[in-house]
Amino acid sequence: MNIIRKKLFAGISLPILIVAGLVGCTTSSSSSNTENTTPKEETVDSQTYQQSGSASYPLTVSNYSINDGNWTAKQQVFKAAPTRVVANNQSTAELLIRLGLTDTIAGVAALYGEVSEDIAKEFSSIPVLANDYVGKEVTLGANPDLIIGRGDLFADSEWGVGSVAELNSLGINTYIFNTCKKGATVDALFQDIEELGRIFSVQDNASTFADSLHSRINRLTETLSGVARPLTYAYVSYSDGDISVYAATSDTFQNDALNIINLDNAFKTATGEITLEQLVSTNPDVLLISRYTGGPDAEKSVEEIYKISALQSLSAVKNHQIYIIDFSQFWGYSYQILDGVEQLASDMYPDLIN
Residue 247 maps to which CATH number?
Answer: 3.40.50.1980
pLDDT digits (tens, 9 = 90+) for 72-118: 999 999 999 999 999 999 999 999 999 999 999 999 999 998 899 99
Distance CA(40)–CA(42), nearest Å, equals 6
Beta partners for residue 175, in sequence order: 148
Helix (H, G, I), strand (E, B) or coil at 82: coil
Q: Is residue 126 domain-resident?
A: yes
Q: Is residue 288 domain-resident?
A: yes
Q: Is residue 317 domain-resident?
A: yes
Contact between 3 and 135 under an 8 Å Cβ cutoff? The reply is: no
Q: Is residue 4 domain-resident?
A: no
Confidence of residue 160 (pLDDT cuts 50, 70, 90): very high
* Whether residues 170 and 271 fall in one domain: no
Distance CA(86)–CA(92), nearest Å, equals 9
Residue 39: is its pLDDT beyond 60?
A: no
Q: What is the dihedral of CA 270, 273, 276, 278, to 10 degrees?
A: -30
* Whether residues 177 and 317 fall in one domain: no
Q: Which of 347, 119, 331 is nearest to 224 (CA)?
A: 347
pLDDT digits (tens, 9 = 90+) for 303-326: 999 999 999 999 999 999 999 999
Q: What is the mean pLDDT of residues 203-222?
A: 97
* Whether residues 230 and 171 fall in one domain: no
Residue 43: is its pLDDT beyond 80?
A: no
Q: What is the mean pLDDT of residues 200-228?
A: 95
7-46 burial code (b ≥16 CB/10 A, e <16): bbbbbbbeebbbbbbbbebebbbebebeeeeeeeeeeeee
Cis peptide leading into residue 58 (ω within 30°): yes
- Percent pLDDT > 90 in the chain is 75
Q: How many C-beta atoms surround the C-beta of residue 307 within 10 A?
A: 10
Confidence of residue 133 (pLDDT cuts 50, 70, 90): very high
* Whether residues 172 and 227 fall in one domain: no
* Whether residues 171 and 232 fall in one domain: no
* Whether residues 272 and 132 fall in one domain: no
Q: Is residue 354 domain-resident?
A: no
Q: Where is the domain boundary, 200, 232, 250?
A: 200
Q: Where is the domain boundary, 133, 167, 200?
A: 200
Task: For the chain, give the mean pLDDT.
Answer: 86
Q: Is residue 240 domain-resident?
A: yes
Q: Is residue 213 domain-resident?
A: no
* Whether residues 248 and 132 fall in one domain: no
Phi, psi of 299, deg, nearest 5: -60, -40
Residue 125's pLDDT is what? 97
* Whether residues 232 and 174 fall in one domain: no
pLDDT digits (tens, 9 = 90+) for 255-278: 999 999 999 999 999 999 999 999
Q: pLDDT: is 294 or 1 the higher one? A: 294
Give alpha helix (H) positions in the chain. 14-20, 90-98, 117-124, 136-141, 164-169, 187-199, 203-223, 252-259, 276-282, 298-307, 315-318, 327-330, 336-348
The total of structural domains in the chain comes to 2
Residue 10: is its pLDDT beyond 60?
A: no
Q: What is the mean pLDDT of residues 51-55?
A: 52
* Whether residues 173 and 54 fall in one domain: yes
* Whether residues 239 and 168 fall in one domain: no
Q: What is the mean pLDDT of residues 283-297?
A: 93
* Whether residues 175 and 247 fall in one domain: no
Residue 185: is its pLDDT beyond 90?
A: yes
Residue 38: is its pLDDT beyond 50?
A: no
Range of the domain at 255: 222-348
Residue 354's pLDDT is what? 67
Residue 54's pLDDT is what? 64
What secondary structure letter does DSSP report for 89? S
Distance CA(348)–CA(260), nearest Å, equals 13
* Whether residues 123 and 257 fall in one domain: no
Predicted TM-score (pTM) of the model is 0.84
Q: What is the mean pLDDT of residues 293-300?
A: 90
